[in-house]
Structure 1
Amino acid sequence: MLTSRLRALLLPLALISGAASSHAQARPIVLVYHQVGAGSGASLGIAPQALRQRVETLRRLGYRFVTSSEAARAAPQEKVAVIQFDDGFESVYRLAFPVLRDLGVPGTAYVIWSRLDQPGSLSRAQVRELRAAGWEIGTHSHRHAALADLAPAGLRRELSVPDGEAARCVAYPLNRHDARVRRAAMAQGLSCGVAGGPPALGRPDPLALPAPAITPWDDTLLPLRARWGLDARAPLLLAGVTEPVLDTLLDQGAGEAPAVEPPLTWNPAHYELLGNGLISVAWRGERETRLAWREGRWSLNAAARRGVGHLDGAYTGGSVAFNVAPITLAAGWDGSGPLLGGAVSLGGYGEVWGRASRLGGAWTWGAGATLIPADYVQLSAAHGASGTQLGLRAALPWQDGEGRPLRLGGGYRWGEGAGPFAELEYRVGSYSLTAEVSGAGRFGVKFTSVW
């Protein structure tokens, strides 16, 4: 018989893993590049001849090439492909435009408006010529900000399109977005967005189209990527799905570990601050894994803890949540029984959330809040039976055009792991690595991937 902890993961993780190995064709397929003629593979660059080969490969597979907004409106059975260029480099006009014009393929260029007419970037005259040739010009924000880290005023500023320009779609810088960002995009008149990441299980959200990351081996692997929708996160997704399940099976073989509280800051109604998905693994005296996957108004959430305290306690829980703005409600199962959760958005400034589950035959609860009162500043609080935590995180004003990748944080915990703590986080695109040191004498690291 399966343990209750294993059952807690089966529903959400089976659905999540199905996305990584779906037999359905990935439609639409979006190929995202930056520079042309400089670098290749994981550097997000492509040579003109490789671009030609990839277009011809997809055509042989029956794909029709369209722009981003056309892909967002395409019928589910259509096999459409998008050639997308982010950042607005001048090499797109000089090297990619002639190749695609010769092939009769429209491209979509997402420009950073503050960089137009700068050395190495597209000029306004070149943008007009691309539009006249059937290309779509979208927005990549005003300054290439990390949109999910901005307060409402910052979102309006970054998503606005300059006078005299027009855009239907946004490519979210660094693949970072959430429900607040998607609503702000709609409020600015944008009807589609590209979010990166593996394909959706069902019909893609027009405001968060998947765009699997390119690889250095796409000249060979592109037919497989087109069929299965795999991207560079596929190994991470597979590991994130199977690791908690294997842990639970090993626990079963070694005897049940004592059940403990859910992770203090885990929100089973995770939606308001979620993009299309998230994987995180943390080690700080225990091991903690979290998974989230969004499909339209639905989200799937799972969390697991192992090696908690001197008794080596364990927790496994999973939930399904549904959003009817501004409220998200969740229900699921954990190692001790039913799991309930809920969250309320705070007008674009974050959310408050709560959960209830059974532990030791009695109901226990937890609650918390995440606030974004100003651009690149985040306040958090969480409280449960195991303790209380207050935290503050802020991004340093360094590499502003790359979303301020260096962040400092800290706070205080009462109860489990009591004492002050400090964090240092560094981001590379949609991946981040966080180191933590606490007054309780613990050192921890956390790896996170979002899309």
Structure 2
Amino acid sequence: MISHLLAHLPHTWSRAALCLGAVAALALPTPAQARPMVLVFHQVGTAGGASLGISPEALRHRVETLRRLGYRFVTSSEAARAPAGERVAVIQFDDGFESVYRLAFPVLRELGVPGTTYVIWSRLNRPGSLSAAQVAELRAAGWEVGTHSHSHAALADLSPGGLRRELAPGEEAGPQTAQCVAYPLNRHDARVRREAARQGLNCGVAGGPPPLTRADPMALPAPAITPWDDTLLPLRTRWGVDARTPLLAAGLLLPALDGLGTAHPLAAPPRTWNAAHYELLGNGLITAAWRGERDTRLAWREGRWSVNLAARRGVGPGQAAYTGLGAALNLAPVTLAAGLDSGGPLVGGALALGGYGEVWARASRVGGEWFWAWGGTLIPVDYVQLSAAQDRAGTQLGLRAALPWQSGEGRPLRVGGGYRWGEGAGPYAELEYRVGSYSVAAEVSRGRRFGVRLTAVW
């Protein structure tokens, strides 16, 4: 019925309806979603804002503000078990810096607030990091000490063996085993969450805006801090406002408004779009790419469900456009998807590959014809990713690898390349650089065609 109505609307308005509906659902959270409130910091006594540092005075002010707003302070594992709707807050410190013990511990002890610190175990007892004795003292004072992995690796880029190595409890943790994990760089997926549970961890902190429903205990949200949090904190607690909220709104509104009011022919779906995206998905992602055309993708996970949006604009000489929106349900190891796109119904599915990646397929009607596609992503070894996709217009094969540089920050520099047959035929090469959960990539393809892709994950 809905697809029949959309088919009789101008294509630009049906595209706008799909995108604006997603805006209303994803970018405008309700008051009940701002719980639990997790504030994540790294160093104490350094600059605030994007550096994730905070001064002792600012820390005291944040605690007092949340108390006035009716929040009760708990540890990460207590927040994961808290009843739905209860106002609980977590003060979290990642990386295990020594300044947490020296500057934050006295402030929180005076205020009667338990903290949670996530330790990179390979750095324990090193200069500038917590010592084993300090970890024991924090635990004795009611703090929770969780794991931030063994070496601060980008967990979503690891093979099953690498995940076991990074998440397995080690001797450095002492006699008390960690209950929770804070995923380094906010990068995780279903493979990472499953391995964390296998290693005896019962909660995880993933970063990002709050969910629309109850938070997943293995992926608790932790909205990104900003330099303006002294002012924004009441808004964040009530509405779930996060530093990524403008990105979500822009990523959805721009495709909806792009070409609005002007008739455009229908384009085919993006070749590499997986409408059943789940196995390699964290809590969400948004990506915007410009490569002769404009390509926006958004994915949002709620428990076993995910919502996946793809929008193409400015395709070919006729400036064709496409919008697709699918809802997927994970029934491990299979994920099934259904939805609507610019031409009518959309179906898809994916199959997990035992922790090494996934294969997927998709079909939809565009212009009265069925368009199909299939593809897959394989992670055979740590920091190496193979990808393939094929549709009626052509085939694409790719390889991406992280350079062994700054391994303690998840190897942020990536190089890759591949070949396309059919539409856009020819070789291509790409270079990607990551800063935490954000990345920028540049691509050069045949004929010196240049493209840029921006991505945020959580």
Instruction: Specify whether residues 195 and 39 from structure 1 end up closer, same or farther in structure 2 by C-alpha distance, changes over 3 A only.
Output: same
Q: Aligned residue for 2:255?
A: 244
Q: Aligned residue for 2:119?
A: 111
Counterpart-to-counterpart distance in 2, 1:23 and 1:439? 47
Counterpart-to-counterpart distance in 2, 1:288 and 1:264? 11
Which of the numbers 308, 312, 318 marks the counterpart of 2:319? 312
Q: State whether structure 2 residue 401 is matched by structure 1 residue 390.
A: no
Which of the numbers 324, 340, 345 marks the counterpart of 2:331? 324
Instruction: Specify whether residues 154 and 13 from structure 1 end up closer, same or farther in structure 2 by C-alpha distance, changes over 3 A only.
Output: farther
Counterpart-to-counterpart distance in 1, 2:409 and 2:212? 30
Q: Aligned residue for 2:5?
A: none
Q: Aligned residue for 1:44?
A: 52
Which of the numbers 205, 210, 227 marks the counterpart of 2:221? 210
Q: State whether structure 2 residue 151 is matched by structure 1 residue 134.
A: no
Residues 372, 392 of structure 2: 8 Å contact kept: yes
Cα offsets for 1:4-37 (capped at 9, x unmatched):
5654674676355434322324000000000000
Which of the numbers 15, 39, 43 marks the counterpart of 1:35? 43
Residues 360, 374 of structure 2: 8 Å contact kept: yes
Amino acid at match of 2:368: G
Q: Aligned residue for 1:369?
A: 376
Which of the numbers 402, 413, 420 marks the counterpart of 1:406? 413
Amino acid at match of 2:361: G
Unaligned stretches of 5+ in structure 2? 1-7
The SS at the match of 1:373 is: coil
Amino acid at match of 2:242: D
Counterpart-to-counterpart distance in 2, 1:62 and 1:191? 26
- Of stretches 195-204 and 157-166 in structure 1, the one that deviates more from structure 2 is 157-166
Which of the numbers 158, 165, 173 marks the counterpart of 1:150? 158
Q: Aligned residue for 1:254?
A: 262
Amino acid at match of 1:178: D
- Of stretches 50-59 and 354-363 in structure 1, the one that deviates more from structure 2 is 354-363
Cα offsets for 1:138-181 (capped at 9, x unmatched):
00000000000000000000011213341000000000000000
Amino acid at match of 1:313: A
Residues 289, 295 of structure 2: 8 Å contact kept: yes
Deviation at 1:2, TM superposition (A): 4.2
Counterpart-to-counterpart distance in 1, 2:395 and 2:247? 31
Q: Aligned residue for 1:76?
A: 84
Residues 9, 317 of structure 1: 8 Å contact kept: no
Q: Aligned residue for 1:95?
A: 103
Residues 4, 337 of structure 1: 8 Å contact kept: no
Counterpart-to-counterpart distance in 1, 2:390 and 2:266? 19
Cα offsets for 1:193-239 (capped at 9, x unmatched):
00000000010000000000111111122111111111111110110
Cα offsets for 1:239-271 (capped at 9, x unmatched):
011112112xx34x222x111211110000000
The SS at the match of 1:374 is: coil
Q: Aligned residue for 1:184?
A: 195
Residues 384, 402 of structure 2: 8 Å contact kept: yes
TM-score (norm 2): 0.95
Which of the numbers 216, 221, 246 marks the counterpart of 2:232? 221
Which of the numbers 181, 187, 201 marks the counterpart of 1:170? 181
The SS at the match of 1:117 is: coil
The SS at the match of 1:39 is: coil
Deviation at 1:348, TM superposition (A): 0.3
The SS at the match of 1:329 is: strand
Amino acid at match of 1:246: L
Counterpart-to-counterpart distance in 1, 2:238 and 2:281? 27
Which of the numbers 419, 439, 442 marks the counterpart of 2:446? 439
Percent identity of paired positions between Structure 1 and Structure 2: 73
Amino acid at match of 1:270: H
RMSD: 1.3
**Paired residue total:** 447
Counterpart-to-counterpart distance in 1, 2:190 and 2:15? 26
Counterpart-to-counterpart distance in 1, 2:273 and 2:447? 21
Counterpart-to-counterpart distance in 2, 1:414 and 1:152? 32
Q: Aligned residue for 2:286?
A: 279
The SS at the match of 1:320 is: strand
- Of stretches 435-444 and 395-404 in structure 1, the one that deviates more from structure 2 is 435-444
The SS at the match of 1:224 is: helix
Unaligned stretches of 5+ in structure 1? none
The SS at the match of 2:31 is: coil
Deviation at 1:441, TM superposition (A): 3.2
Counterpart-to-counterpart distance in 2, 1:77 and 1:263? 39
TM-score (norm 1): 0.97
Counterpart-to-counterpart distance in 1, 2:13 and 2:374? 25
Amino acid at match of 2:65: T
Amino acid at match of 1:174: L
Counterpart-to-counterpart distance in 2, 1:132 and 1:64? 20
Counterpart-to-counterpart distance in 1, 2:359 and 2:367? 26
Counterpart-to-counterpart distance in 1, 2:153 and 2:431? 20
Instruction: Specify whether residues 19 and 76 from structure 1 end up closer, same or farther in structure 2 by C-alpha distance, changes over 3 A only.
Output: farther
Q: State whether structure 2 residue 358 is matched by structure 1 residue 351.
A: yes
The SS at the match of 1:289 is: strand
Counterpart-to-counterpart distance in 1, 2:187 and 2:58? 28
